[in-house]
Structure 1
Amino acid sequence: MEYALLGDLHSSIDDTKAVLAHIALTAPTAKVIGLGDLFECKIGKRKANTLRLSRIEETAVWSETFESLLTFSSVRGNQEERIMMVTSGNQFKHLPEHIIIDGAMLMHGHQWEWTKEWTPVLPKTEPPLLFFGHSHEAGLYRKGKRLPFSYGVPVYLKVKRYGINAGAVFGTREWVLYDAVTRAVTFMKTD
């Protein structure tokens, strides 16, 4: 089965439409799943600890147009968690912290440590493939090292532990195609 994995949409209508159109064109049978940070929280980390607002429109970049694009399941990102904190709501409690698909774990990426250079310190997961987002930088990682890749060229993964950052929809219009049968990961990007 093929999966189209996309994260860090940050409420961007134009970027999300472009990526979803690219998925429909290049991988029409792939199951689309989000890697979190679907929405953009307007409140910074520090203020979120004390500020309480009742309306989601005050807290997040929110529109019915954007919400109508979210026809796929997703994990919960730190932006969704901050929106819930500020509104004292549970709008995103239905989004799990992780999802397991064929041979892979999906998480946002805010759950673990990152180096000062924004290299992820990946947790050991079962299954051993870990797809994530959070840093907005597409990357393929093995044993703490970043491996080379080219957009549009499949990388066939050995039966080992890898971290795969899908990059960001917002700003760079990136996503990853994962073929669970062949263990191929293809980093994708559209205009």
Structure 2
Amino acid sequence: MRIAVVTDVHGQTARLAGVLERIREQEVDQVVCLGDVFECRIGKREAAGYVFGRVEDVFDPDSELARLLEGVVVVRGNQEERIRSLVPERRLPRWTLPLLDAPLEHDTGFARYCHGHPLHWRELEPGRWSPLDADFPGRALIHGHHHRSALYRRRPAGDGRAEAERVPVRFGEPVPLAPDGRYVVNVGSVTRCSPDRGPSPAWAVVDETAATLTYHHSQETT
């Protein structure tokens, strides 16, 4: 089973379309999207006092995003949860509900796929955050939320927390995931990022049969 993983679209429909076009060339069996499909225009700090007015004040309900994600396994991110909390259900277009109410996780036995926002995160290196201590089934926890392509191998530390061994990310080159290894995989993002977070749009292909992970990016997608 070859699974392409995208995440953190943040409403950038054209960039998602470009990534999915590239993915179609990679002969995958399934595509998984790890949430933050939409961009909530009301920040986390402003949300508590927000009084609803119009849907368009909260997010752009672009139905093309839903069309692009037909047949894709979607889990929800924090942007979807904030939108859901701010917009009365009767005002939401019906087609948005499967995306806004998607499950938090998708488990395959080999890996858990999730956005990762409810997990406990710690800063492993300056500017590099990871939910390294999270419990998960299978060989890998594959997440989004922190817009940076990064791969860590977990090693027990004996104090209840795991130690991290950063595995170098080489775009386009498969990385073997050892049978006795536990890995935390930050996919990167579709949305445009600052240069210090690495190239974008980025995605990953997980070959669960061969137990490999391959990062990809496309500077040509706009």
* TM-score calculated relative to the size of structure 2: 0.80
**Alignment correspondent of 1:154:** 174
Deviates more, 1:127-136 or 1:48-57: 48-57
**Counterpart selection for 2:108 from 101, 113, 121:** 101
Q: How many residues align?
A: 190
The AA in structure 1 aligned to 2:44 is K
Tell which deviates more after alignment, 101-110 or 132-141: 101-110
Structure of higher CA gyration radius: 2
Secondary structure (helix, strand or coil) at the match of 1:85 reads helix
Preserved CA contact (<8 Å) 1:113 1:121:
yes
Do the aligned partners of residues 118 and 52 (structure 1) sit closer, same or farther apart at CA in structure 2, a change above 3 Å counting? farther
Deviation at 1:30, TM superposition (A): 2.6
Instruction: Give, in angstroms, the shift of residue 13 of structure 1.
Output: 1.3
Identity between Structure 1 and Structure 2 (%): 32
Note if contact 1:109-1:134 (Cα within 8 Å) is conserved in structure 2: yes
Matching of residues 17-32 of structure 1 within 5 Å: 17-27=17-27, 29-32=28-31
Q: 1:52 to 1:70 in 2, by over 3 A?
A: farther
Q: Which runs of 5+ in 2 are unaligned?
A: 155-163, 193-199
Displacement of 1:115: 3.0
- Residues 157 and 183, structure 1, Cα contact 8 Å, conserved in 2: yes
CA gap of 1:102–1:125, structure 2 versus 1, over 3 A, is closer
**C-alpha distance in structure 1 between counterparts of 2:109 and 2:207, whole Å:** 9
- Measured in 2, the distance between the counterparts of 1:141 and 1:88 equals 40
Secondary structure of the structure 1 residue equivalent to 2:25: helix
- Give the Cα–Cα distance (whole angstroms) in 1 for the partners of residues 40 and 142 of structure 2: 23
CA contact (8 A) 1:18 1:173 kept: no
Q: Is the 8 A contact 2:4 2:23 kept in 1?
A: yes
Structure 1 residue ranges (4+ consecutive) displaced by more than 6 angstroms after TM superposition: none
Q: CA deviation at 1:174?
A: 0.7
Deviation at 1:145, TM superposition (A): 3.3
Look up the equivalent residue of 1:74 and give its one-letter code: V
1:166 is the counterpart of 2:192: no
* Residue number in structure 1 paired with 2:203: 175
Q: Which residue is 1:69 aligned to? A: 68
Q: In structure 2, how many angstroms separate the alpha carbons of the residues matched to 1:40 and 1:93?
A: 12
Higher relative contact order (CA 8 A, sep 6+): 1
Q: 2:150 pairs with 125, 139, 158, which one?
A: 139
Once structures 1 and 2 are overlaid, which stretch shifts more, 181-190 or 115-124?
A: 115-124
Deviations 1:108-164 (A, max 9, x none): 021123335342132021123111000110111112232102101000100221011
Contact in 2 for aligned 1:152/1:188 (Cα 8 Å): yes
Are 2:113 and 2:142, in contact at CA under 8 Å, matched by a contact in 1? Answer: yes
Q: Displacement, 1:56? A: 2.9
Structure 1: runs of 5 or more not aligned: none
1:120 aligns with 2:148: no
Matched residue of 1:164: which SS?
strand
Q: TM-score, normalised by structure 1?
A: 0.92
Superposed, 1:1-12 pairs within 5 Å as 1-12=1-12
CA RMSD of aligned residues (A): 1.7
Question: SS at 1:149's partner residue?
Answer: coil
